[in-house]
Amino acid sequence: MSEPKSLRPLGVGTFYEQVGGHETFVKLAAAFYRGIADDEVLKPMYPEVDLAAAEERMLMFLEQYWGGPTTYSETRGHPRLRMRHAGFHIDPEARDRWLAHMRRAVDELELSPVHEATLWDYLERAAHAMVNTFEPQPGR
């Protein structure tokens, strides 16, 4: 594994800027959705055949959350993550699959340990918060 990217130290600029800005979040979203494309549990949750729109929404959300452009709120309103995901069957298996794809995506970024831990802590908490049932998906 290569050395972590040379990034701004914590405390200088936003987290978004510290980790490399737009290009870093583009890479994260793209890597995540490469995994989703072939996931038999998660892919059916996306009505779009092409995941590009979902990838763009995640990119905008994560950029805004971490201190980048506010494009997400400007185009879609308040994030309301639980509300936006309420119609999907998100059980622990779906959460764990989501986290596995996100783990691979985060690893591709090769962030400094403190930036990686900060990002991963948020992603884990968000994934756990999205669980809305403990009943297995019918047919699984």
**Annotated binding site for heme: which residue ranges?**
128
Show binding-site residues. Answer: 128
Residue 139 CA: distances (Å) to CA of 54, 79, 90, 120, 136: 25, 31, 14, 31, 8
Residues 112, 105 contacting (CB under 8 angstroms): no
As separate numbers, helices (DSSP H) first and strands (DSSP E) second, the chain gives 7, 0
